[in-house]
Structure 1
């Protein structure tokens, strides 16, 4: 990681902000070309499938509140509460793995409705 690159914590916070702002261009610059995304519904899908399946066509979320964030080496663990525009909310945990200063993989572990 070069001296001018944002911290891994800041990159993760910026990724969630880009998601809320529907800024695929900003998020895409944070991901490696061979990025993969996994969740209980998706098994190592690539970048194109991630943007197609996981980014809403219309804004869905009002806010994402990061409740826990830990950086250990190349991995960042995050627990957050997402508030949807319809008033519903849920909690999830994610593991984001870095290669250099970009995110190479995300694994989502679904939580519960709140």
Structure 2
């Protein structure tokens, strides 16, 4: 189960970076919720409208650690460099249940 949760999360990040919405959309549950310092519990439709199309602002984006905490929770620690300059690191806590991502909580890190 844990291997499949990390695989789902890694696939979601790959599809985001390549902007393959058709491949990404089925990985997210209908009751999906996304929270970050800029978004408060937005739903799946809003996430795909507002957040998903933003990959072009990254010059580089690397997953540093994809770590299962238990059978449903995966922590992702990643580093990215913006096209406008600056390198940053964030952590996401992602809940995967029954093969679908149900919740993402993003914690912004500082400049590297």
Q: TM-score, normalised by structure 1?
A: 0.86
Asked if the contact 1:20–1:63 (Cα under 8 Å) also holds between the matched residues in 2, the reply is no
Q: How far apart in 2 are the matches of 1:63 and 1:26?
A: 21
Structure 1 regions of 5+ residues with no counterpart? none
1:85 aligns to 2:83 (yes or no):
yes
Match among 43, 48, 53 for residue 46 of structure 1: 43
CA distance in 2, matches of 1:58, 1:44: 20
- Larger proportion of helix: 2
Aligned residues: 110
Q: Could you tell me how far apart the structure 2 residues matched to 1:49 and 1:37 are?
A: 9
**Distance in 2 separating the partners of 1:58 and 1:106:** 17
Q: Distance in 1 between matches of 2:55 and 2:39?
A: 21
- Report the counterpart of residue 59 of structure 1 in structure 2: 56
TM-score, structure 2 as length reference: 0.87
Distance 1:57 1:81 in 2: 15
